[in-house]
C-alpha cells in the first residue's frame, strides 16, 4: 500500500487561529492608544486650568485685589483651547458649586478644592473642569 505524499502548507484552522490572535493584538493596541490619548487630553485640561488660575491671580493682583468677572478674564485666557474640540474654553467665575460641569468650560471660584470639587473657603483660587471619563477635577493655587 502506497502512503499519500505529505503536502506542505497551513491548514485552514491554523490560519484562522493566527488571524484571531492578530486581531486580538490589534484591539489591545487600539484600546491602549485611545486610553493614552484620553489621558493626554485630561493632562492638557489640567494645564489649561492651571494657566487660567495663574491669569486670575495676575488679574486679581493687577486690579487691587478685585475679583475677576468672566468678561474681564476673556482677554487673559482667550488662547486656551479645549483638546477634544480645539475650541476656546469658556471661563465662568462662580460663587457656588456648579450643578453640572460642562466640557469646554473652566469654572473658577475663590477658595480651594475639597476632593474634586470647589470649596469656597480660603484665600486662594480654584478651578474645576470636565474630564473625559465624565468626572470633574479641581486644581487650586494659594
Structural domain contains residue 107: yes
Render pLDDT for 11-58 as a digit per residue (tens, 0 to 9).
Answer: 899 999 999 999 999 999 998 898 888 888 888 888 888 888 887 777
Structural domain contains residue 6: no
Side-chain half-sphere CA neighbours of 134 within 13 A: 0
Structural domain contains residue 1: no
Structural domain contains residue 130: yes
Structural domain contains residue 2: no
Render pLDDT for 46-96 as a digit per residue (tens, 0 to 9).
Answer: 888 888 888 777 777 777 766 666 566 666 666 778 888 888 888 888 888
Structural domain span for residue 108? 12-141
Total number of domains constituting the chain:
1
Amino acid at each position: 500500500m502506497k502512503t499519500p505524499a505529505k503536502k506542505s502548507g497551513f491548514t485552514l484552522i491554523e490560519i484562522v487561529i493566527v488571524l484571531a490572535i492578530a486581531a486580538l493584538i490589534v484591539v489591545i493596541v487600539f484600546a491602549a492608544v485611545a486610553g493614552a490619548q484620553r489621558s493626554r487630553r485630561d493632562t492638557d485640561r489640567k494645564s489649561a486650568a492651571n494657566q487660567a488660575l495663574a491669569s486670575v491671580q495676575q488679574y486679581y493682583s493687577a486690579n487691587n485685589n478685585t475679583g475677576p468677572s468672566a468678561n474681564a478674564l476673556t482677554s487673559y485666557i482667550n488662547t486656551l483651547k479645549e483638546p477634544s474640540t480645539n475650541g476656546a474654553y469658556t471661563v465662568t467665575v462662580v460663587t457656588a458649586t456648579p450643578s453640572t460641569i460642562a466640557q469646554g468650560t473652566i469654572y473658577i471660584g475663590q477658595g480651594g478644592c475639597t476632593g474634586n470639587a470647589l470649596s469656597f473657603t480660603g484665600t486662594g483660587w480654584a478651578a474645576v473642569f470636565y474630564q473625559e471619563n465624565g468626572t470633574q477635577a479641581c486644581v487650586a493655587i494659594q
